[in-house]
Amino acid sequence: MTILIVEDDEDISSLLKRGFEMEGFNVDCARTGEQAIESAKSRPYDTIILDIILPGASGIDVCRRLRAEGANTSAPIIMLSARDAVPDRVEGLSAGADDYMTKPFAFQELLARVKAQNRRQTNAAPVRHGEGLALNPKLREVEWRNKRIDLTEREYELLELFVKHEGEALSRQKIFDALWEGQGGVSINVVDVYVGYLRKKLAGFGRNGRPLIQTVRGVGFVLRLDG
């Protein structure tokens, strides 16, 4: 399993990294909120451990952005904070965190919580959308009426974004910002390329021969599961 540790305290970050690596995890580290967002967009994680107090964007802001933008939406987020008041916990969980631990904490308890979150994710059933589409966020698998559709990581992220905004026309800029923002050397034309890839793999699944992903002139693209 792969974990992203977002912690600006070098001592705590090193201790957690060493502890999880000794347990067989692959570990990436980020020191700021922006680094965390870029890391989460660049690869999938099984768990994100997120400190609240960070340089720049706070952990609360990072959590909200990750949940809103579609990056790593399936990864459980465990927040760490020295704040233990009920309103602080409520704010963290309301922002999209799956768990909340206060500092100081025992590593073994954090490890147990990480394993518990991943057990829940692993056992999660695919989420069904419309009459035929099903996405399993944990396994990042897609089915149409119980038939598996093989997608690349980026194609899956694109489909997940469309599903989240089903029936809403998404501009090319919005899609680009959600999936490719901050990646140097990539032009907005990549949106049309990947929409084309995804359409081919979803060909024939719409009602009355209509494609699931339709072009909206002057705007962008829309996913219509109801035809």
d(CA 227, CA 209): 9
Q: What pLDDT is attached to residue 34?
A: 92
Confidence at 110, pLDDT banded by 50, 70, 90: very high
Q: What pLDDT is attached to residue 183?
A: 74
Interior CA angle at 26 toward 23 and 30, to 5°?
Answer: 115
**Which residues share a beta bridge with 143?**
134, 148
What DSSP state is assigned to residue 7?
Answer: -
User: Is pLDDT at 30 greater than 90 in this prediction?
Assistant: yes
Maximum C-alpha span of the chain = 60
Is there a contact between 7 and 13 (Cβ–Cβ < 8 Å)? yes
Average pLDDT over residues 165-169: 91
Confidence at 145, pLDDT banded by 50, 70, 90: confident
- Examine residue 104 and say whether the peptide bond preceding it is cis (omega within 30 degrees of 0): yes
Q: What pLDDT is attached to residue 180?
A: 86
User: Is pLDDT at 122 greater than 70 in this prediction?
Assistant: no
Q: What pLDDT is attached to residue 70?
A: 58
User: Is pLDDT at 117 greater than 90 in this prediction?
Assistant: no
User: Is pLDDT at 121 greater than 80 in this prediction?
Assistant: no
Confidence at 107, pLDDT banded by 50, 70, 90: very high
The helix or strand, by DSSP H or E, that contains position 44, with its residue range, turns out to be none
Contacts of 127 (CB under 8 A, 6+ apart): 134, 135, 136, 137
Confidence at 4, pLDDT banded by 50, 70, 90: very high
Domains and CATH numbers, the chain: 2-122 (3.40.50.2300), 154-223 (1.10.10.10)
Average pLDDT over residues 168-191: 88
Q: What pLDDT is attached to residue 3?
A: 93
**By CB neighbour count within 10 A (0-12 exposed, 13-18 middle, 19+ buried), where does 135 fall?**
buried
d(CA 110, CA 69): 27
User: Is pLDDT at 125 greater than 80 in this prediction?
Assistant: no
